[in-house]
Amino acid sequence: MTETDSNPTAATRRRWRMPEEIGVVVALVAMMAVIGIARPRFLNPINLFSLLGNTTFLGMLAVGMVFLLAIREIDLSVGWMFNFSAVVAALLMVAGLDPWLAAFIGILFGAGLGLVNGLIAVTLRLPAIIVTLGTYSMFQGLSLVVNKGRAIVPADQSSSFFSVISTKLFGLVPVAALVFIVLAIAMHIVLHRTRFGYRVQAVGSNPEAAAHAGIPTNWVRLQTLVLMGAICGLSGVMYVGFRGAIDPNEGGDFVLVVIAAVIIGGTPLSGGHGTIIGAVVGMMIIQVISSGLIFFGIDATWSTFVTGAVIVLAVSLDRLIKFQRARRAERSRETLRS
Amino acid sequence: MTRNSKTLLLGAFALALGVSTASAQDVTIGFVAHAQGDPFVQQIQDGAQAAANDLGVKLVVAQQAGGAPEGQLKLVQNFANSGAQGIATSVPGESMAKGLNEIIDSGVPIVQFNLLSTAVNAPYVGEKSVESGRVLGKMIVEKLGGAEAKGTVILGNCFPGFPVLENRAKGVQESLKAAPGLNVIGPFDVKVSAVDNFNRWEQLYGANPEAVALIGLCAPDVTSLGKLNAANGDKFVAGGYDLTELNLKAIKEGHAYVTIGQSAFVQGYLPVALLVNAVKNGAKLGSGFHNSGAQIVTADSVDMGNGLKPISFDEAQKLAADPAATIEYYKPWTQSLTAEILSAAPQPISAESE
């Protein structure tokens, strides 16, 4: 019998331990409540599902970025992998290929771009952030060459690919958002319930120890970067289905928002740990702030500052909660010792 | 609720109170623009605000730093969901069309300005983009000596892929063909931020020091080219777009030759006026083109377009720096905008790129 088992109070506390994402979830709910009280129209289901829809494409990238941060890597090329995959899929559709097949090829193409990042990073033993600093421009440039600097708009959008992805169930819930939620749940399970997920966190926690324990660290890094590419591909082809077009400059400004969402959600830059739920909530916080500023009628000249300030506030409150929880846990341990 | 949760809630509530400054007015118009901080876009915004003040409506502005369609569409959707009665937006990409049409179908009128998608079922206020390029190209050819001109001409585009800018490039290239001896290279991506823009032009000139003319298609180009020309002994002819303070300074000092204005004030004022007319008088807003008019400014002549009274170069400089003076200058034009004029059918959208 363990020490805590002998103490019913401590055992109860352990059973009722709050999830680590509670801080950002409370921050999100509080923001929505405050905006909703001041501007009741904000809580209109149409607006809330619109916000969920707005979270979809960047949110998918954030889900993949959690794996990278957990393994102590950052991929700066996510926006252009998204764009390039979407452009390739859209061009195949324009060429007459079945949109479902074109979308599948687009996802594989995204995985291929991730593989390029991974192979360079692993073979040259470079951090992904350095490699993707270069491939960021390479993928952008190649995408511009392929799309000739113009939007790609598949002319025939009668395929079920477009109607299914852009459909809103009950006139409210975007199917694309449901795909995002399913992806997030699947990736949460992969990160926390599979050998691959444990390995990602082990390598991110201490690469040397992971290597000594027999984990093929290079293989895990490669898999993670390919996964990121495939998710970018998925997000890109879904974007084509949802919006019916892909523009040459779309995706260029995604990376900072994606990394911000993951960090707001509670995934540390130091690696070894990640939270998919936190990243999803982090992305929703960013969307709620953007929407809230407009509902409050805050002018553009102030909104940039307010956006940053609210993000800092949300992260500070989350850290404050975690700090207080850590102190309480420490006090509990001291009490048990005494 | 835990103590921590209460702290969070109170913090968020205090923040919301601090930022809640909106005052109640009957009609709210949302205004969404790209390239936050760009002086030319600010001039458009000043025009929109002037219209809101004149027409007694509330204008709320939202902007994004770059020109990504997805970010811009989200801002428009937020305005629609927040209950704005009308929305004016630039449309930096085709992927916005589907979402904007859904908003229009839901009953919220939209007007496009400065950047357009022809797939959007809304009017567009802007310049005749190919034609303005033709004017710019023609002036450069004439400055270089007409049909006998020879040498390399460098063309730069700050946002490759934007239809309006691609159209300008098309117009410039068309006019430059009048001088077969000119070798046109580009368009190159010269970026939109002032620092990047200057660096790109410097690199391009460094690689092509024999160039006889450098032509930009966006607001920061004339300023960058003026600086570059000044640093290299004014060896090339510089031309570009927009009547910003710094662009006019470069022309006045003789480091740049010509800048083509696209009536920023009109591009801001007219969309708001059209929306207010639609909201208050029930006017229908279908697809179509409202020409904002072109302005042609060199050190020797200033044509402000739209039948506005002639002004000197110094007065043009004053207008670029002073929104209040601009409002005053445009009064004869703003006062001419009757409900009848605003309700008249616009030109077909194809006229924009003729």
Tell me what pLDDT residue A214 has: 95
Query: Which of A:89-108 have CB within 8 Å of B?
Result: none
- Please compute the mean of the pLDDT values over residues B315-337 and round it to a whole number: 92
The answer to whether residue B22 scores a pLDDT higher than 50 is no
Distance of CA A155 to the CA centre of its chain: 31
Query: What are the tens digits of pLDDT across the range A237-248?
Result: 999 999 999 988
Tell me what pLDDT residue B103 has: 96
Among A249, A306, A311, smallest CA distance to A283 is for A311
CATH topology of domain A20-324: ABC transporter involved in vitamin B12 uptake, BtuC (1.10.3470)
Tell me what pLDDT residue B77 has: 95
- Decide: residue A9, CB within 10 A, 0-12 exposed, 13-18 middle, 19+ buried: exposed
Among B117, B108, B48, smallest CA distance to B76 is for B108
Q: Inter-chain contact B96–A243, Cβ cutoff 8 Å?
A: yes
Q: Inter-chain contact B78–A38, Cβ cutoff 8 Å?
A: no
- Decide: residue A33, CB within 10 A, 0-12 exposed, 13-18 middle, 19+ buried: middle
Query: What are the tens digits of pLDDT across the range B69-126?
Result: 999 999 999 999 999 999 999 999 899 999 999 999 999 999 999 999 999 999 999 9
**B30 to chain A: which residues are within 8 Å by CB?**
294
Distance of CA B223 to the CA centre of its chain: 16
Q: Which positions of chain A have pLDDT values less than 70?
A: 1-17
SS3 A191: helix
The answer to whether residue B347 scores a pLDDT higher than 90 is yes
SS (H, E, C) chain B: CCHHHHHHHHHHHHHHHHHCCCCCCCCEEEEEECCCCCHHHHHHHHHHHHHHHHHCCEEEEEECCCCCHHHHHHHHHHHHHHCCCEEEECCCCHHHHHHHHHHHHCCCCEEEECCCCCCCCCEEEECCHHHHHHHHHHHHHHHHCHHHCCEEEEEEECCCCCHHHHHHHHHHHHHHCCCCCEEEEEEEECCCCHHHHHHHHHHHHHHCCCCCEEEECCCCHHHHHHHHHHHCCCCCEEEEECCCHHHHHHHHCCCCCEEEECCHHHHHHHHHHHHHHHHHHCCCCCCEEEECCCEEEECCCEECCCCCCCCCHHHHHHHHHCHHHHHHHCHHHHCCCCHHHHHCCCECHHHHHC
**A324 to chain B: which residues are within 8 Å by CB?**
4
Considering only CB atoms, A57 lies closest to which of B11, B66, B70, namely B70
Determine the residue of chain A that is closest to B66 in CA distance.
Answer: A253
Q: Chain A contact for B12, CB < 8 A?
A: yes
List, in order, residues 6 or more apart from A309 with CB less than 8 Å away.
B15
* Of B1 and A133, the one with more pLDDT: A133
Among B321, B331, B327, B319, smallest CA distance to B295 is for B319
List, in order, residues 6 or more apart from A29 with CB less than 8 Å away.
none
Any idea where the domains of chain A sit in the sequence? 20-324
SS3 A168: strand
- Please compute the mean of the pLDDT values over residues B326-335 and round it to a whole number: 94
Tell me what pLDDT residue A328 has: 82
Bridge pairing between strands A173-174 and A168-169 = antiparallel
The answer to whether residue B276 scores a pLDDT higher than 60 is yes
Q: Chain A contact for B165, CB < 8 A?
A: no
Tell me what pLDDT residue A8 has: 54
Distance CA B256, CA B239 (A): 6
Q: Specify the residue for token string 């477009």.
A: A162
Contact A70/A204 with Cβ under 8 angstroms?
yes
**Mean per-residue pLDDT over chain B, rounded:** 89
The answer to whether residue B192 scores a pLDDT higher than 50 is yes
If you write DSSP's letter for every residue of A122-145 in order, what string do you get? HHTT--HHHHHHHHHHHHHHHHHH
What tokens were used for B73?
């569409």
Any idea where the domains of chain B sit in the sequence? 26-127+264-292+323-349, 129-261
Query: Which of B:91-110 have CB within 8 Å of A?
Result: 92-99
CATH 3.40.50.2300 is right for the domain spanning B129-261 = yes
CATH superfamily entry for domain B26-127+264-292+323-349: Response regulator (3.40.50.2300)
Q: Chain A contact for B28, CB < 8 A?
A: yes
SS3 A37: helix
Distance CA A179, CA A182 (A): 5
Tell me what pLDDT residue B24 has: 39
Cis amide bond preceding A8, omega within 30: no
Identical fold between B26-127+264-292+323-349 and B129-261 = yes
Distance set, CA A159 to CA A89, A102, A155, A309, B100 (Å):
14, 12, 11, 44, 21
Query: Which of A:245-274 have CB within 8 Å of B?
Result: 245-253
ipTM of the complex in this document: 0.80
Query: What are the tens digits of pLDDT across the range B131-187?
Result: 999 999 999 999 999 999 999 999 999 987 778 898 999 999 999 999 999 999 989
How close A31 gets to chain B, by Cα (Å)?
6
Distance CA B254, CA B242 (A): 17
